[in-house]
Amino acid sequence: MPTVFIAIPLRRLTGGQATVQVAGATLRQVIERLESSFPGIAERLVDPDDPDKLAVGLAAIVDGEATVLGLRQPLEPGSEVHFLPAIAGGASDRRRGCRRI
């Protein structure tokens, strides 16, 4: 089962849990299951305007590297998932005034 590392701002929603094991073959499935366990978490992770996209300014790091497929990113049973602020590379210009996590 993939392991999801819960960023500090979201731990309020997971009762303080820092990691959660969640079944799912894609990022979307994992987020859906997370939502059923921890209501409210999905809206912090998913773009309200486009259900295929991560929230603006957020990156999902899967097995060490950022996904480029958004919620469609396939996961392995042993995958590690981190939701982190987007690294933005040399491209920190495109940031929001307020992040969701």
Q: Which residue has the tokens 């998932």?
A: 81
Give the pair of three-digit tokens for residue 80. 């590690």
Is the CB of residue 27 less than 8 Å from the CB of residue 72? Answer: yes
Residue 92 within binding range of another protein, rule CB under 8 A? yes
Binding mask 49-68 for another protein (x = CB under 8 A): -------x----xxxxxxxx
Kindly tell me which of 33 and 79 has the beta carbon lying closer to another protein: 79
Q: What would the two tokens of residue 60 be?
A: 């999902």
Residues composing the chain = 101
Q: Judged by CB under 8 A, how many residues of this single chain contact another protein? A: 35
Of 28, 17, 24, which Cα lies nearest the Cα of 1?
Answer: 24
Q: Which of 39, 41, 44, 70 lies at the binding interface for another protein (CB under 8 A)?
A: 44
> What residues line the site for another protein (CB under 8 A)?
5, 8-10, 12, 44, 56, 61-68, 80, 82, 84-101
